[in-house]
Amino acid sequence: MNKGVNTYSSGLRETPGASIVLYYFLENSSDCGFTSELCALKNKLLIPESHFLGDDDGDLQTDGNSFGRIPTREPDNEEIFRLIGAQLAVIGDRLAAEIEPSFVNNLARQFVAENVPKEEISKHLSQAVQALVRRMPSDMQQERAMLVAAMVLAKQVANKAPSVLQQVFSVTVNFINRNLRDYLNDLEPES
């Protein structure tokens, strides 16, 4: 991602931190079986600033989310979110190896099933995150555990069903923004 790039708002008028962290988490994770879908997602998420001459026109995409200009952070803050995403990918890779395949399969079925409301899928993601956090080491801070769990689940669901990456990404960003926005905004990259 370059300077002067706008990020997908995932339907919420929030800072782009969750999108940046999740994207770079996925990009830096090992064993991703959805690299072409991630590249396509990047092209949808990142729109050169020169593309916009005025405000967002408010057009909704087919998944109900709007793309467009959102208030951007300072470039240094975007770089911080990129570094955090890459660092969390290392933690996520260790955690991913310990997740039972049937656990991920159940969540992936929710994303792939037709006519399942987005709210229902969000509820299943939230329940899966909570269940996974209960299995994680108790020495990890609760918010960090939730953030890593949500992103690992997004990665593993996308590995099972690459065609739903955009939906998985959107639901996960919304989960992070609803539950962990303040924590994410206060995170600093580890030295």
In tens, the pLDDT along 11-35 reads: 434 557 899 999 999 999 998 999 9
In tens, the pLDDT along 156-191 reads: 999 999 999 999 999 999 999 999 999 988 888 876
Whole-model pTM?
0.78
Residue reference for tokens 């992070």: 176
